[in-house]
Amino acid sequence: MRALIRETDISNSRLIAPLFLIDHPTNAREIGSLPGQFQLGEEPLYREIESSLNLGIKSFVLFPAVVESLKNTEATYSYSKENFYLKRIAGIKQRFPETLLISDVAYDPYSSDGHDGYVKDGKILNDESLPVLCKMALAQAQAGIDMIGPSDMMDGRVGAIRSALDKDGYSEVSIMAYTAKYASAFYGPFRDALDSAPKFGDKKIYQMDPANALEALREAALDEAEGADILMVKPALSYLDIIYQIKQFSTLPIAAYNVSGEYAMIKAAAQKGWLDEEKVMKEVLLSIRRAGADMILTYFAKDFARLSHG
Ligand code: PBG
């Protein structure tokens, strides 16, 4: 009876696994603050994708960890032909055409300033960042990406990227907008993983104030008008009300990003024997779905898939 009247389910097809990529043929390094998550060189990356596919996880969001010497203010490595991230996108698509790959489009992995946009005289400039974000998106489209993930909170980026893609014949490449991305302390472990913490100041001038909800709806309206295919809320757990509100507000599919700090807290408590990891993971993922997320980006993707397999 309980199963028959259940209102919400999670299935592997709703989960998207984030992966961290490094420019190395064979290395895999575990990330200290994200137990079970690795910086993956080329071979381990393909192995990780293969084992995820075998468990029923087909969607991945890819983040590059770039060495400091290749970073600069203009983030030029992001669209360079030499960029290993672009080669990996092509490599995955060639080996595993059944995957759905979502990219990261932002300055921060490539910026010597560690910010998501172009920095001049100590200021992060919104409009001046858009041309490089478009170049990045086009280079990724050329490499074979399925969906662009502009992960900053710059204004106008969805529209700019959409028209750049359409103009160059990539109208089939879709966009997952980071619609409501809050200036959150829950991103800490992610910044460790990529060594992408801002070199000065913080990200508050372009990420949202956790106190605001109506602003998230304004952002949703803008991203929808600019041509987004999916609207994302990030982080997920402290923002379940935002997921719910955006779901009511828009007919677009909604994604929620169960971020690094949310994963790390559960892993740490479980390691201490203070929480039952499996039960807490299921409860958390279920709550995000119940709030209205159609899909969840989560470091738990494989752990969850393993459970349903065994
Ligand atoms: C930045 C970006 C961040 C995350 C994804 N893309 C963090 C930040 O704003 O510094 C965080 C994801 C996570 O914490 O899991 N472009």
Residue 310: pLDDT over 60 = no
How much distance in Å is there from the Cα of 4 to the middle of ligand 1?
38
Considering only residues 118 and 173, tell me which one the structure prediction assigns the higher pLDDT. Answer: 173
> Which residue among 259, 265, 297 has the greatest number of ligand 1 atoms within 8 angstroms of its CB, and so is best to mutate?
259
Q: What is the pLDDT of residues 204-213, one digit of tens each?
A: 888 999 999 9
What residue has token string 């028209």?
A: 163
CA of 2 to the centre of ligand 1 (A): 38
Query: Does 166 score more than 70 pLDDT?
Result: yes
Q: Which residues are catalytic?
A: 181, 234
* Domains of the chain, residue spans: 12-309
Mutation choice for ligand 1 from 60, 133, 187, CB with most ligand atoms inside 8 A: 187
Question: According to the model, what pLDDT value does residue 309 have?
Answer: 65
pTM of the predicted model as reported, rounded to 2 decimal places? 0.96
Q: Ligand 1, closest atom to CA 181?
A: 9
Task: Give the pLDDT mean for 87-103.
Answer: 98
The predicted-structure confidence for 205-236, as pLDDT tens digits, reads as follows 889 999 999 999 999 999 999 999 999 999 99
- Which residues in the chain belong to E strands, given as ranges? 15-21, 28-31, 34-40, 59-64, 100-102, 118-120, 123-125, 147-148, 174-181, 230-234, 254-258, 295-298
The finding on whether 107 has its CB within 6 A of some atom of ligand 1 is: no
Determine whether domain 12-309 maps to CATH 3.40.50.150: no
Q: What is the pLDDT of residues 170-192, one digit of tens each?
A: 999 999 999 999 999 999 999 88
CA of 264 to the centre of ligand 1 (A): 14
Q: Is the CB of 263 under 6 A from ligand 1?
A: no
User: pLDDT over 90 for what percent of the chain?
Assistant: 88
Q: 21 - beta bridge partners?
A: 40, 64
